[in-house]
Structure 1
């Protein structure tokens, strides 16, 4: 299905109501750079708890606003400073344990991967399953968190395209869009940034409908 075959108004409505990636909401300028990818890992870590996606993104933004945009900066903050920032973001039920998790994750990234998640990308060598598995070595990041990372990272790691999760594909079907990932990506021409937007918009749309 090409863009001109999409049911009238579907993409326009998605853009108007849900046209924002979670990385953008978290204040991440997503690039294939170590700091940017670390920030995305933080977002995926926060999103892995049973808490709303909006709260996770808002809390990530609060952490980055405090200046903790690299693993070094995250580790330089005190545990209490991280707890306070998590609380300001609305992440109160999990703030104390998460303050420790964020330090542990930053330490692991620095000590095992030189602070650079692109090493995981190179080691995966285009194997998405291998990348999803490798991401799960970070504290709290399970299969869901790893998929959240990949859903957003496909904007800068084209080998991940098309990356849609089950909730997004189900929502696509409900809107009259293809449920095959490749065909769904073709709706926006397969451009990595556009596919990442569409993937996030479909998830947002599904969550908005409960």
Structure 2
């Protein structure tokens, strides 16, 4: 495709599928402790082998249960966490995830004072170290770290453009550039998190690819 075609495809992609997972979960993302912690929890939930819609609903359920920060998560009983996970539909992994959420909250409190921004500070400007630091959280592996970083780049601009292998697979399926730089130049910087989320949806769902192609041709 030429540049005009690429931009048309990206506009169709964003218009139809360009909502971040944080937005879907009701997280108004800012560089403050509570929304960053909620995003961290969402990344943990999304990294399991479960539908994204279920993970998003469960993140909302945890927030509705008052488990919006690491202190409340750590202080909650294991059963309360299980119940909140189950209410969101996260039943297959509820018991293990309830344990991991409690352990992760304790680690964040003990090591980083409950503030995810201190994990960023611990990387000391080395964005390559940040995924490793994030993976100290139980249940947050490479996939979960990638999810977190794709979403948080909107408030941690040193990460821009964070378009990892999964996002680039979506770009390839759509016939878009398969390198972060050229791909990111197709949108304004503030739209990069939405682009990343939409590309992941294209990587995961052929129906998204077909829908975008149809819209781009209209």
TM-score normalised by length of structure 1: 0.92
| Runs of at least 4 residues off by over 6 Å | none
TM superposition shift of 1:178: 1.3
- For the aligned residue pairs, the C-alpha RMSD in angstroms reads 1.9
Describe the shift of the 1:8–1:128 C-alpha distance in structure 2 as closer, same or farther (beyond 3 A). Answer: closer
Asked whether the 8 Å contact 2:37–2:70 carries over to 1, the reply is yes
TM superposition shift of 1:123: 1.9
| Aligned twin of 1:198 | 195
TM superposition shift of 1:8: 6.3
Gaps of 5+ in 2: 208-218
TM superposition shift of 1:29: 0.8
| Aligned twin of 1:56 | 55
Asked whether the 8 Å contact 2:28–2:35 carries over to 1, the reply is yes
Q: Secondary structure at the match of 2:128?
A: helix
| Aligned twin of 1:169 | 168
1:1-210 equivalence runs, <5 A = 5-7=4-6, 9-189=8-188, 191=189, 193-209=190-206
Q: Secondary structure at the match of 1:205?
A: helix
Q: How many residues align?
A: 207
TM superposition shift of 1:144: 1.0
For residues 5 and 123 of structure 2, the distance between their equivalents in structure 1, rounded to whole angstroms, comes to 34
Describe the shift of the 1:114–1:209 C-alpha distance in structure 2 as closer, same or farther (beyond 3 A). Answer: same
Asked whether the 8 Å contact 1:147–1:165 carries over to 2, the reply is yes
TM-score normalised by length of structure 2: 0.88
Asked whether the 8 Å contact 2:44–2:140 carries over to 1, the reply is yes
Asked whether the 8 Å contact 1:151–1:199 carries over to 2, the reply is yes
| Aligned twin of 2:214 | none
For residues 7 and 144 of structure 2, the distance between their equivalents in structure 1, rounded to whole angstroms, comes to 33
TM superposition shift of 1:9: 3.7
